[in-house]
């Protein structure tokens, strides 16, 4: 498992003092605004020097150390920022999306193997798992009553699919 995960992307500047707007890749901006540090790199060797953060219209406004002008801030446009997984405590039954990628999907009743989760697609009602088995792809709604268990450590997710999700053979990848 990666220690440092993508937290979001800087999309633009805000105001004239170098404040930045960050698109959040978490359940809500409050998850990220509660952190005391973010990082420029996926290995955590370059902390950004986070001075403050606040929620604004579903995004996060950041004030960073050494970024005091619009010009300095504009050079960070498009930059992905990272968080340390140890800085976030997930509630029971919640997982980092990145940790779901690569889980083997099996039937929670029969043990039948369906494939591997290759992508988690965010959707308004619920996320959707793209499950790939050889040349076939299936889209599985990630709703609580259709997931029996998730075991990140063993690399297995047990699903309780409704008829038709895996019966139709999937789509050719």
Per-residue pLDDT tens over the stretch 58-104:
889 999 998 999 999 999 999 999 999 999 988 888 888 889 999 99
What is the pLDDT averaged over residues 109-115? 95
Q: What is the mean pLDDT of the chain?
A: 90
168 pLDDT more than 80: no
CA 141 to each of CA 1, 100, 131, 147, 166: distance values in angstroms, whole numbers, following the listed order? 24, 14, 11, 9, 12
165 pLDDT more than 90: no
Assign 88 to helix, strand or coil. Answer: coil
121: nearest Cα among 137, 104, 134? 137
CA 6 to each of CA 3, 65, 84, 98, 115: distance values in angstroms, whole numbers, following the listed order? 10, 20, 9, 9, 25
Same domain, 158 and 108: yes
pLDDT digits (tens, 9 = 90+) for 130-154: 999 988 999 999 999 999 999 999 9
55 pLDDT more than 80: yes
Q: In angstroms, rounded to a whole number, what is the distance separating the alpha carbons of residues 126 and 145? A: 12
Token pair for 74 = 């504009």
Token pair for 112 = 């039948």
Confidence of residue 113 (pLDDT cuts 50, 70, 90): very high
Residue 114 sits in a domain of what CATH number?
2.30.30.240
Alpha-carbon dihedral 80, 86, 91, 93, rounded to 10 degrees: 80
Least confident of 10-14, 115-119, 124-128, 141-145: 124-128
Same domain, 60 and 125: no
124 or 39, which is more confident: 39
119: in domain: yes
Final residue of a structural domain among 62, 86, 110: 86
């Amino acid at each position: 498992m990666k220690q440092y995960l993508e937290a979001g992307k800087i999309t633009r500047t805000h105001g004239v003092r170098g404040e930045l707007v960050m698109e959040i890749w978490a359940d809500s901006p409050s998850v990220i605004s509660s952190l005391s540090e973010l990082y420029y790199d996926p290995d955590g060797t370059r902390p950004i020097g986070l001075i403050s953060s606040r929620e604004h219209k579903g995004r996060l406004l950041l004030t960073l150390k050494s970024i005091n002008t619009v010009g300095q801030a504009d050079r960070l446009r498009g930059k992905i920022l990272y968080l340390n997984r140890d800085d976030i405590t997930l509630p029971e039954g919640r997982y980092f999306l990145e940790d779901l990628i690569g889980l083997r999907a099996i039937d929670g009743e029969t043990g039948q193997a369906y494939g591997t989760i290759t992508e988690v697609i965010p959707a308004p009602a619920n996320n959707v798992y793209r499950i790939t088995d050889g040349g076939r792809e299936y889209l599985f709604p990630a709703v609580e009553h259709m997931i029996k268990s998730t075991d990140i450590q063993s690399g297995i997710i047990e699903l309780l699919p409704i008829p038709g999700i895996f019966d139709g053979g999937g789509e050719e990848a």
